[in-house]
Amino acid sequence: MSSTSAGLLQAGLLLALLAAVYRPFGGYMARVYTDRGHRRVERALYRLFRVDPDTEQRWSVYAAALLAFSFVSILVLYLLQRLQGLLPLSLGRGAVEPGIAFNTAVSFVTNTNWQSSVPEDVMGHLVQMAGLTVQNFLSAAVGMAVAVALVRGLVRTGTDRIGNLWVDLTRGVVRILLPIAAVGAVVLVALGVTMSLSAGVDVTGVDGARHTIALAPTASQEIIKVLGTNGGGVFNANSAHPFENPDAVTNLLEIFLLLVVPVCLTRTFGVMVRDTRQGHLLVAVMGALWAVMLAVAWWAESHPNGPAHLLAGGALEGKETRFGIPSSVLFAISTTGTSTGAVNSWHDGFTGLGGGMTLLNILYGEVAPGGAGAGLYGILVLAVIAVFLAGLMVGRTPEYLGKKLGRAQVTAAAVAILAMPATVLLGTGAALALPAELDAALTNTGPHGLSEVLYAYASAANNNGSAFAGLTVTSPFFQSTLGIAMLVGRFVPILAVLALAGSLAAQKRVEPGPGSLPTHGPLFGVLLGGTIVLVAALTFFPALALGPFAEALA
């Protein structure tokens, strides 16, 4: 079987698996977040933390609780790293350097999972399990909670309550993420992913030299790394490492897992708003963007324009031979289309056009299909903008799902979509204005060097976490600015989304009239998809033209 046929078979199988679970899993998540009852383990947690699960919160209280929880999470994870030398299972590794500890704490709490160190050399097993793995669950549950709060804002009328953060957070972990992760980790172990508390195994190479191959409790972190659209690997090579991703079967399973929650949340949305057509439209737009990016990147990697690539029959640099071009591109587009950031190939080794597609996929705002929760609330914000633009075209007050979109709603949506571009461009500009920092950090110059810097800040501000890997970011400047980009890119849009949810929930429902724009048909799908592309194109085209597109044309 040719690599193209194998790649098409994998893509088809992936879509079939997602289609099979779309309805039952999406419906299950809707029931989780609308259930009025509480399970015994949940009640125990509420009593432990003195939470009244039957009391709902205004959007401002919901947001304050989320910020407080995230701040405490950053502090705890930072302290775990700084005190590592005093903890069991530290494997003799001392305290993590302050800059790396800060960057890592911010990264994992914001669902970015950017790693500016070699984890198998820096992190002990306890920090990996009690710190990083726990945050993989919690940061994903936070994103899902925010998405559900926005959906409640669209559903409810005449109220200032959008739910209870602690209930949403607990249910996301206990009822959704944890059960799947428990089963999935066992499956990964059965498929060859390692699970060990040993520091490593000593081996003798063919040259007679002795080496130590690092080991870790990989499967338990690998499963939530992809399921929660996190992306931080136990090993520096991430999902290109055979202990994390042994073969084509685990590769396909990991791609399925990183897509399943964002994709099925559109079904959850449709069920909660009592119109499943709305969810179908969102998943169709997400799927169309994903398919176009996949096709272009696959073509670019299979038909490169460099002499070495032409002789090799494709752009094989930085790709694992056990995956090849199709599986590498499928993984890359899926992981940059979500906020996962995991990699099974070296994005820095992609062609100019192929690497540009991974970068553009991030710059869309990670809505194809986006991260756990973040993809749904991201595309709903863009739907608000699309409805507003349509209202301007026909000269009437825009409405979405029976809610009028006035100045307050559009302002909140605008803040949510502009925070990321401002952070990316300001961060990239600041780095480019410091030649001394670039000389020490960059391994490439010209368009590719610009792409590496732009990709770093795009990945941080979009809470993706992947990297071109040609940029060394261990200096205080990059550690701090990328950390700030993660914080702004995560929490400014969340605050704007929660404010939007509160303003929508307070409104009375408006019955659709003759001039109302149907938001479940193909016309609105084209308008929404065009808005996503247009916002990214107008904002980032000059930077993309100077970076990956210039490299592709060279």
SS3 labels along 468-504: CCCECCCCHHHHHHHHHHHHHHHHHHHHHHHHHHHHH
> CB 326: neighbour CB atoms within 10 A?
23
Q: How confident is the model at residue 217 (pLDDT cuts 50, 70, 90)?
A: very high
Determine the pLDDT at residue 256: 98
Contacts 24+ apart (CB under 8 A), 294-297: 294/11, 294/329, 294/330, 294/333, 296/353, 296/357, 297/329, 297/332, 297/333, 297/350, 297/353, 297/354, 297/357, 297/358
Share the mean pLDDT of the chain.
92
On whether residue 14 sits in a domain, the answer given is: no
Residues found in the chain: 554
High-pLDDT (> 70) share of the chain, % = 97
On whether residue 403 sits in a domain, the answer given is: yes
Token look-up 């100019």 returns: 352
- Stretch 38-56: mean pLDDT, rounded? 95
Q: Find out whether 266 and 282 touch, Cβ atoms under 8 Å.
A: yes
Is pLDDT at 450 greater than 80 in this prediction? Answer: yes
Q: Find out whether 391 and 398 touch, Cβ atoms under 8 Å.
A: yes
Determine the pLDDT at residue 445: 82
Q: How confident is the model at residue 1 (pLDDT cuts 50, 70, 90)?
A: low
Q: How confident is the model at residue 419 (pLDDT cuts 50, 70, 90)?
A: very high
Looking at residue 554, what DSSP letter applies? -
What is the phi-psi region of residue 404: left when phi exceeds 0, alpha when psi lies from -120 to 50, beta otherwise?
Answer: beta
Is pLDDT at 391 greater than 70 in this prediction? Answer: yes
Is pLDDT at 109 greater than 90 in this prediction? Answer: yes
Is pLDDT at 470 greater than 80 in this prediction? Answer: no
Q: How far apart are CA 193 and CA 191, in angstroms?
A: 6
On whether residue 471 sits in a domain, the answer given is: yes
Looking at residue 202, what DSSP letter applies? E
On whether residue 15 sits in a domain, the answer given is: no
For residue 514, what are the domain limits?
Answer: 395-553
Is pLDDT at 459 greater than 60 in this prediction? Answer: yes
Q: How far apart are CA 219 and CA 464, in angstroms?
A: 21
C-alpha dihedral (473, 236, 234, 136), degrees to nearest 10: 40
Give the tokens for residue 260: 């399943």
Token look-up 């949510």 returns: 416
Q: How confident is the model at residue 551 (pLDDT cuts 50, 70, 90)?
A: confident
On whether residue 531 sits in a domain, the answer given is: yes
Is pLDDT at 446 greater than 90 in this prediction? Answer: no
Determine the pLDDT at residue 33: 98
Give the tokens for residue 290: 């994903």
Q: Find out whether 409 and 383 touch, Cβ atoms under 8 Å.
A: no
Determine the pLDDT at residue 61: 97
| Buried/exposed code over 467-487 (b: 16+ C-beta within 10 A; e: otherwise) | bbbbbebebebbbebbbbbbb
| Buried/exposed code over 343-370 (b: 16+ C-beta within 10 A; e: otherwise) | bbbbbbbbbbbbbbbbbbbbbbbbbbbb
On whether residue 510 sits in a domain, the answer given is: yes
Q: How confident is the model at residue 259 (pLDDT cuts 50, 70, 90)?
A: very high
Is pLDDT at 348 greater than 90 in this prediction? Answer: no
Number of domains present in the structure of the chain: 1
Least confident of 291-295, 308-312, 501-505: 308-312
Q: Find out whether 128 and 357 touch, Cβ atoms under 8 Å.
A: no
Is pLDDT at 312 greater than 60 in this prediction? Answer: no
Is pLDDT at 81 greater than 60 in this prediction? Answer: yes
What is the phi-psi region of residue 316: left when phi exceeds 0, alpha when psi lies from -120 to 50, beta otherwise?
Answer: alpha
Is pLDDT at 306 greater than 70 in this prediction? Answer: no
Q: Report helix angle 218-227 to 248-272, nearest 10.
A: 40
Q: How confident is the model at residue 208 (pLDDT cuts 50, 70, 90)?
A: confident
CB hemisphere CA count around 542 (13 angstroms): 6
On whether residue 435 sits in a domain, the answer given is: yes
Terminal CA-CA length for the chain: 33
Q: What angle do CA 134, 180, 171 make, to 5 degrees?
A: 65
Determine the pLDDT at residue 468: 84
Using only the alpha carbons of the chain, give its radius of gyration.
23
- Stretch 222-238: mean pLDDT, rounded? 93
- Stretch 498-508: mean pLDDT, rounded? 97
Is pLDDT at 313 greater than 70 in this prediction? Answer: no
On whether residue 502 sits in a domain, the answer given is: yes
Distances, alpha carbon 356 to alpha carbons 112, 115, 338, 475, in Å? 20, 22, 16, 26
Token look-up 């490593």 returns: 200
Q: Find out whether 467 and 114 touch, Cβ atoms under 8 Å.
A: yes
Phi, psi of 442 (to 5 degrees): -90, 140
Q: pTM of this prediction?
A: 0.95
